[in-house]
C-alpha cells in the first residue's frame, strides 16, 4: 500500500436531510494539508451544507468527519474552532453597528475583557493585518466598511483564532476582480505557510488559476475529484451541471428601437452609499429599447449611488440634482412602487436586504411587486390560484430548487435565492430592466440561462441597464459599455470595441 500524507480533512459518507431534501447524500472528500482545495457544484448541490457540518453548525445525520486523523463530533462551531477550523460564510455574519475590532473579539473575548486585554488583542490583530497585507479601519462600524474590507475582517477573525483549516464560501462573489486578486495572493501566502484552504466558488477561472485540487458536487453527491492540473473549465462545467454548458453564449446583434427606455441627465448626488468612496457627479446617459447598456467599474466608483439615485430617489441620501426619465416619464421624484408599475423590473444589488423577505415563503416572495398586476389581483383581491400557478411554472422554468413554494426564501441556497428574484422580475415582462449583479452567486448553468433571458428581454424590446463587476457579464451582454470611474462616466465603447485588458485599465482610471 502506498504511503499517503494523512488528510487534513476527510469526510466519509456524510449525509444530511432537511425535511424531504437530501442536502448531502453520502459525501466522501479528502483534503490534503497545505493545499488550496476548490469545491464547486450547481446551486443547491450541497456545498455549503457539507462545510457547515465540518464547521459544527449542524450535525450530520450519518457519516464521519475526520480532522487530522481524528474522528470528530462537534457540539457547536466552538468545538470546530478549538480544533483549528474556521469558516467565512457565503453571507457574512458580522454585526453591523459594532466596530471591526468588536466583531473579532465578540465570541472570542480575551478571558478578562479589560482595557489591557483589548489593547493586547488589538496589537496582535494589527500585527496580523500587517503580516498578511489586510489593512482594516478598526474603529468604524463594520456596516460602513466596503464589503472587501468586511471580508478582510472575517479572514483576520479566523487567523486571530489560529485557524489551520480555512473554509471560504464563495468569497469572491462580492468582490471586484482587483479585490479578488488581492484575496488570492493572500490565500497563496497562507497555503505556503502550511494552512489548508477550502474554497467554494462558482468561478471556474479561479479554480483553474488558484487551486491545487478540485471536488465537484451535484445533487448532494460528489461527482468528481481531481488535481486541477488535469482538468479544464469545460469539463468542470459539464460535471457540475450534468449536461454540456455553453460557457460563452453567442449574442446576436441588437435591433435597437429609436425609442428611449431610460435617460439620465446631469445626475449628481450629495452623499455616498456606505462603504463607497465617490459621489455621483454629473452623470448623463441613455438606454434605448432593444439595447443592453453595461456599466463597468471597480466597486465604489459610483455604481451603487447611481442605482440608489435612479431607483430610490426619495431616500435622504439621494438628494439629487439632475433628471431621470423612464419610458418617457420624468420619474425623478417618484416612489419606487410607481416606478415598478410603469413596467420596470429590477434585480437589486443586495438580494438579502432589498430583494427578498427571507422569513416569508417562496410564493410570497414571488408575488412581491406583482400584487397590483391585473393577472394576480382583481379589484384588490388576490387571485391566489393564478399566483400559485405562475409561481410553480416560474420555479420550473428558472429551476429554483427545491420545488417548494412553502419554504421560507432564506432557506434556499444562495444561488437559488438569486434565481427566485430573476424569475419574479422577468415575470413582469419589463419594458425596462435594471439588473445589478444579476449573476452573483449563481452556477455556470444558471449564468448561461440568465444571460440568455436578458438577451431575450432585449430582443422583445426591453431596454436593459446592466451593472456588474463581472467583466464576463459586461463583455458578453452589452451592446454598449459605460465605464464608471470616481463617480463619473469615464469612457464608452460599442460592442466588440474593447478587450478585457483595456476595459480593466479604463476601470482603474488610466
Ligand atoms: N437550513 C436549511 N433548512 C432547509 N433546507 C436547507 C437549509 N440549508 C440548506 N438547505 C437545502 O439544502 C440544499 C443544499 O443547500 P446548500 O446551501 O448546501 O447548497 P450550495 O451547494 O451551497 O448552493 P449555492 O451554490 O446556491 O450556494 C438546498 O436544496 C437547500 O435548499
Ligand atoms: Mg452555498
Distance CA 312, CA 285 (A): 18
- Is pLDDT above 90 for 287? yes
- Is pLDDT above 90 for 174? no
CB 480 near ligand 1, within 6 Å: no
The pLDDT assigned to 286 comes to: 97
- Is pLDDT above 70 for 104? yes
CB 275 near ligand 1, within 6 Å: no
Domain hosting residue 191, numbered range: 9-241
> How many CB atoms neighbour CB 302 within 10 A?
28
The position carrying cell 436578458 is 454
By most ligand atoms within 8 Å of CB, the mutation choice from 11, 38, 49 for ligand 1 is 49
Region 348-357 average pLDDT: 82
The position carrying cell 429551476 is 399
Distance CA 121, CA 264 (A): 49
The helix or strand, by DSSP H or E, that contains position 337, with its residue range, turns out to be helix 336-341
Region 160-176 average pLDDT: 88
Nearest CA, atom 12, ligand 1: 23
Q: Is the same domain home to 184 and 57?
A: yes
Residues 208-226, buried b or exposed e (16+ Cβ, 10 A)?
A: bebbbbbbbbbebbbebee
Contacts of 144 (CB under 8 A, 6+ apart): 274, 275
Which CA distances in Å does 40 have to 44, 169, 187, 236, 349?
11, 10, 18, 8, 23
The pLDDT assigned to 93 comes to: 66
Q: Are strands 165-169 and 488-494 parallel, antiparallel or unpaired?
A: unpaired
Q: Is the same domain home to 369 and 338?
A: no
Cα angle: 345, vertex 326, 351; to 5 degrees? 30
Region 2-28 average pLDDT: 91
Closest to 311 measured CA to CA, from 291, 285, 332, 342: 332
Band (113; pLDDT cuts 50, 70, 90) = low
Q: Are strands 292-296 and 463-467 parallel, antiparallel or unpaired?
A: parallel
- Is pLDDT above 60 for 332? yes
CB 44 near ligand 1, within 6 Å: yes
> Is position 221 within any domain?
yes
CA of 348 to the centre of ligand 1 (A): 22
The pLDDT assigned to 1 comes to: 47
Q: Is the same domain home to 20 and 76?
A: yes
The pLDDT assigned to 305 comes to: 87
Q: Is the same domain home to 126 and 169?
A: yes
| Candidate from 63-77, 240-254, 373-387 with smallest mean pLDDT | 373-387
Region 197-215 average pLDDT: 95
The pLDDT assigned to 355 comes to: 83
CA 217 to chain centre: 19
CB 445 near ligand 1, within 6 Å: no
Band (229; pLDDT cuts 50, 70, 90) = very high
> Is position 25 within any domain?
yes
Domain boundary residue, one of 241, 270, 302: 241
Q: Is the same domain home to 170 and 52?
A: yes
> Is position 121 within any domain?
yes
Q: Is the same domain home to 126 and 198?
A: yes
Distance CA 150, CA 238 (A): 34
Longest Cα–Cα distance in the chain:
76
- Is pLDDT above 60 for 317? no
pLDDT above 70 as % of the chain = 93
Q: Is the same domain home to 373 and 300?
A: no
pLDDT above 90 as % of the chain = 55
> Is position 220 within any domain?
yes
Provide φ and ψ at 318, rounded to 5°. Answer: -100, 35
Domain boundary residue, one of 370, 394, 428: 428
Query: What SS3 class is residue 254?
Result: coil
The DSSP bridge partners found for residue 263 are: 286, 325
The pLDDT assigned to 191 comes to: 96
CA of 89 to the centre of ligand 2 (A): 9
Contacts of 384 (CB under 8 A, 6+ apart): none
The pLDDT assigned to 315 comes to: 67
Q: Is the same domain home to 317 and 434?
A: yes
Q: Which atom of ligand 1 is nearest to the CA of 58?
A: 1
> Is position 414 within any domain?
no
- Is pLDDT above 60 for 121? yes
Sequence-ordered strand ranges (E) for 83-212: 85-88, 165-169, 196-200
Under a CB-based contact definition with an 8 Å cutoff, are residues 38 and 199 in contact? yes
- Is pLDDT above 90 for 281? no
Q: Which atom of ligand 1 is nearest to the CA of 415?
A: 26
Distance CA 356, CA 420 (A): 9
The pLDDT assigned to 276 comes to: 62
Distance CA 165, CA 195 (A): 6
CB 41 near ligand 1, within 6 Å: yes
The pLDDT assigned to 258 comes to: 92
Provide φ and ψ at 62, rounded to 5°. Answer: -155, 160
- Is pLDDT above 70 for 92? no
Distance CA 495, CA 477 (A): 9
By most ligand atoms within 8 Å of CB, the mutation choice from 11, 16, 18 for ligand 1 is 18
Highest mean pLDDT: which range of 83-97, 256-270, 311-325, 338-352: 256-270
Q: Is the same domain home to 363 and 498?
A: no
> Is position 135 within any domain?
yes
Q: List, for residues 180-196, the tens digit of each pLDDT value.
A: 888 899 999 999 999 99
Q: What's this model's pTM, rounded to 2 decimal places? A: 0.84
Q: Is the same domain home to 365 and 449?
A: no
DSSP result, 338-376: HHHHTTEEEE-S-IIIII--TTSBHHHHHHTTTTTSTTT
Number of domains in the chain: 3
CB 201 near ligand 1, within 6 Å: no
> Is position 382 within any domain?
yes
Q: Which atom of ligand 1 is nearest to the CA of 46?
A: 18
The DSSP bridge partners found for residue 325 are: 263, 330
The pLDDT assigned to 316 comes to: 56
The pLDDT assigned to 137 comes to: 87
CB 48 near ligand 1, within 6 Å: yes
CA of 198 to the centre of ligand 2 (A): 13
Report the chain's C-alpha Rg in angstroms.
23
Band (172; pLDDT cuts 50, 70, 90) = confident
Band (112; pLDDT cuts 50, 70, 90) = low
- Is pLDDT above 70 for 277? no
- Cα dihedral: 235, 475, 92, 105 (round 10): 110
Q: Which atom of ligand 1 is nearest to the CA of 417?
A: 26
Q: Is the same domain home to 380 and 337?
A: no
CA of 452 to the centre of ligand 2 (A): 23
Q: Provide the mean pLDDT of the chain.
A: 88
CA of 23 to the centre of ligand 1 (A): 6
Q: List, for residues 435-489, the tens digit of each pLDDT value.
A: 999 998 889 988 998 999 999 999 999 999 999 988 889 999 999 999 999 899 9
Q: Is the same domain home to 164 and 119?
A: yes
Question: The domain that contains 188 carries what CATH number?
Answer: 3.40.50.300
Closest to 197 measured CA to CA, from 209, 188, 206: 188
Q: List, for residues 213-222, the tens digit of each pLDDT value.
A: 999 999 999 9
- Is pLDDT above 90 for 85? yes
- Is pLDDT above 90 for 386? no
CB 54 near ligand 1, within 6 Å: no
Amino acid at each position: 500500500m502506498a504511503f499517503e500524507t494523512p488528510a487534513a480533512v476527510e469526510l466519509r459518507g456524510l449525509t444530511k436531510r432537511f425535511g424531504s431534501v437530501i442536502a448531502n447524500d453520502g459525501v466522501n472528500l479528502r483534503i490534503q494539508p497545505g493545499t488550496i482545495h476548490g469545491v464547486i457544484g450547481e446551486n443547491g448541490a450541497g456545498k455549503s451544507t457539507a462545510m457547515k457540518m465540518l464547521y459544527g453548525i449542524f450535525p450530520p445525520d450519518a457519516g464521519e468527519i475526520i480532522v487530522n486523523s481524528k474522528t470528530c463530533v462537534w457540539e457547536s462551531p466552538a468545538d470546530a474552532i478549538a480544533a483549528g477550523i474556521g469558516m467565512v460564510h457565503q453571507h457574512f455574519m458580522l454585526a453591523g453597528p459594532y466596530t471591526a475590532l468588536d466583531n473579532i473579539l465578540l465570541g472570542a473575548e480575551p478571558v478578562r475583557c479589560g482595557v489591557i486585554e483589548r489593547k493586547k488583542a488589538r496589537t496582535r490583530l494589527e500585527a496580523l493585518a500587517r503580516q498578511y497585507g489586510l489593512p482594516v479601519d478598526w474603529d468604524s462600524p463594520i456596516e460602513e466598511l466596503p464589503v472587501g474590507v468586511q471580508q478582510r475582517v472575517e479572514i483576520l477573525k479566523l487567523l486571530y483564532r489560529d485557524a489551520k483549516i480555512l473554509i471560504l464560501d464563495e468569497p469572491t462573489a462580492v468582490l471586484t476582480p482587483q479585490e479578488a486578486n488581492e484575496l488570492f495572493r493572500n490565500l497563496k501566502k497562507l497555503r505556503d505557510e502550511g494552512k489548508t484552504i477550502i474554497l467554494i466558488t462558482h468561478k471556474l477561472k479561479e479554480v483553474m488559476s488558484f487551486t491545487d485540487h478540485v471536488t465537484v458536487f451535484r445533487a448532494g453527491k460528489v461527482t468528481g475529484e481531481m488535481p486541477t492540473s488535469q482538468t479544464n473549465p469545460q469539463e468542470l462545467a459539464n460535471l457540475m451541471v450534468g449536461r454540456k454548458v455553453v460557457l460563452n453564449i453567442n449574442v446576436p446583434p441588437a435591433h435597437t428601437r429609436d425609442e428611449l427606455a431610460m435617460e439620465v441627465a446631469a445626475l449628481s448626488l450629495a452623499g455616498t452609499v456606505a462603504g463607497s468612496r465617490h459621489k455621483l457627479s454629473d452623470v448623463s446617459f441613455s438606454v434605448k429599447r432593444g439595447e443592453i447598456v453595461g456599466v463597468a467599474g471597480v466597486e465604489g466608483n459610483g455604481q451603487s449611488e447611481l442605482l440608489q439615485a435612479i431607483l430610490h430617489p426619495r431616500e435622504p441620501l439621494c438628494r439629487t440634482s439632475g433628471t431621470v426619465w423612464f419610458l418617457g416619464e420624468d420619474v425623478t421624484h417618484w416612489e419606487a412602487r410607481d416606478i415598478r408599475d410603469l413596467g420596470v423590473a429590477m434585480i437589486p444589488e443586495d438580494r438579502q436586504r432589498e430583494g427578498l423577505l427571507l422569513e416569508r415563503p417562496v410564493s410570497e416572495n414571488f408575488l412581491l411587486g406583482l400584487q397590483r398586476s391585473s393577472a394576480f389581483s382583481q379589484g384588490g383581491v388576490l387571485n391566489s390560484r393564478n399566483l400559485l400557478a405562475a409561481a410553480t411554472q416560474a420555479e420550473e422554468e428558472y429551476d429554483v430548487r427545491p420545488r417548494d413554494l412553502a419554504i421560507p426564501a432564506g432557506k434556499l441556497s444562495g444561488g437559488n435565492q438569486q434565481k427566485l428574484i430573476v424569475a419574479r422580475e422577468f415575470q413582469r415582462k419589463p419594458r425596462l430592466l435594471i439588473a445589478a449583479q444579476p449573476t452573483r452567486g449563481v452556477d455556470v448553468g444558471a449564468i448561461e440561462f440568465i444571460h440568455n433571458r436578458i438577451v431575450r428581454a432585449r430582443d422583445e424590446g426591453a431596454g436593459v441597464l446592466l451593472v456588474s463587476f463581472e467583466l464576463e457579464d459586461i463583455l458578453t451582454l452589452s451592446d454598449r459599455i459605460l465605464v464608471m470611474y470616481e463617480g463619473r462616466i469615464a469612457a464608452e465603447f460599442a460592442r466588440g470595441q474593447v478587450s478585457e485588458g483595456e476595459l480593466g485599465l479604463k476601470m482603474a482610471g488610466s
